[in-house]
Chain A
Amino acid sequence: MKKIAGIFALLMLAVTPAHTEAPAQAEAEKPAPVEAPAYQVVKEKSFLKFFALQNGAPVEGGFGDFTADIRFDPEHPDQSSIAVEVNTASVIAANEDVAKNLKLPEWLSVEAFPKAVFKSKTITRMPMSDNYYSEGELTLHGKTVPVTLNFQMNRFDGKRAIATGYATLRRLDYGIGQGEWAKPDVIKNEVRVQFRIVADRK
């Protein structure tokens, strides 16, 4: 048993240096990362909405103010990236009182957490389609949680890009809905985010 362990240790010693050196060399030879073309969001044509389920019925809301840093190339999704910053105080809802309440500390707590940020890590194109998904992280209400955006390129002509998509969040992952609201029975945990982004090539 001891002998085997000794051989294994020797093997490790022999192998390890080669392993640590090789990637370092490759790193140096690798060209600077290529970035896909940048896009500018056309604000008045884009929207960011969400639907929560209250008593089983969808309650609609949205954010009027958000910015996005988008780099996109359908042929090179690996070089593409999405970063969205949302002004949480710009929350609106079909019912005014809902919007007012959402700004309070129990919910979005917009004074303490004025920004929500999504950053993509990967963007993947589904084979033979205009559907994509992006895995990334959403920082909301002071908490960072991995999320997946699903979207479809409705239009892409080199100048203008139109994408529609959705993501499903669990509000309690972010601590949204505190105290007596933390029980996800009257207002469900799952919140669906929907967006339409119209963006022009910079």
Chain B
Amino acid sequence: MLKNTIHAYGSVAKTFHWLMFLLVAGLLAAGFIMEGMELGPDKIRLYGLHKSIGIAVLALALLRLTWKAVNIAPPLPGTMRKFDKFAAQAMHWLLYAMMIAMPLSGWLMSSASGFSVSVFGWFTLPDLIAPDKETAKLLRAVHGWAAWGIIAMVTLHAGAALLHHFYYKDNVLKRMLPFARVE
């Protein structure tokens, strides 16, 4: 099933979810690694790849939100407390916001640093702001702290899913797992 049902997420939503997870994990790893690298072609190459994939995440996030808007979502279990439901939904929206804010802050940071963003060498994005050292420094800090923010959010999100699966023993995790069947 491509589309979502009231019982489980469809394959499109699942693909979006897990592809996004892999890309974001890769971006975080690359981000921390490249920051500590000595200046050389490898460092610049990794920056280029990081930027390209970051913009791909931005594009995917917009497609994903569009897909979400035209689909039903399987509701959270009725047994959940009102506050927990609110927390789960708030976390989802925060994660979506980060999928957009993070690439944007990186794009802004690139513009401010005087390095335009090329997407896999296919095309170059327009610079959003003029190069400025102080602005670049600020955006670099924002981008870096946001990375830790994402790590915290994803940890809470995954922790909650595991809690549902092993403690509450509901199908909240299963309905997003690839190839899993939900009755």
Contacts and interface: CB of A to CB of B under 8 A. Distances in A.
A185 to B, nearest CB: 7
A185 B41 contact: yes
Interface in B113-158: 113-118, 120-122, 124, 131, 133
A54 B121 CA distance: 9
Interface residues of B, number: 20
A7 interface: no
Contacts, number: 51
A57 B115 contact: yes
B117 A57 contact: yes
Contacts of B118: 55-57
Contacts of B48: 54-57, 186
Contact of A94 (B40, B41, B114, B117): B114
A158 B133 CA distance: 43
B44 interface: yes
Interface string A167-202: 000000000000011010111000000000000000
A98 interface: yes
B114 A55 contact: no
B39 interface: yes
Contacts of B175: none
B10 to A, nearest CB: 36
Contacts of B124: 56-58
B165 interface: no
B131 A55 contact: no
Contact of A54 (B39, B40, B44, B131): B44
B36 to A, nearest CB: 16
Interface in A73-130: 93-96, 98, 101
B68 interface: no
Interface residues of A, number: 19
B131 A95 contact: yes
Contacts of A185: 41, 45
The 10 closest A-B pairs by CB, nearest first: A94-B114, A55-B48, A56-B121, A56-B118, A95-B114, A57-B118, A57-B116, A186-B41, A94-B131, A57-B124
Interface of B: 39-41, 44-45, 47-48, 51, 113-118, 120-122, 124, 131, 133
Interface of A: 54-60, 93-96, 98, 101, 180-181, 183, 185-187
25 contacts: A54-B44, A55-B48, A55-B51, A55-B118, A56-B48, A56-B120, A56-B122, A57-B48, A57-B115, A57-B116, A59-B114, A59-B115, A59-B116, A95-B114, A95-B115, A101-B39, A180-B40, A181-B41, A183-B41, A185-B41, A186-B41, A186-B44, A186-B45, A186-B48, A187-B41
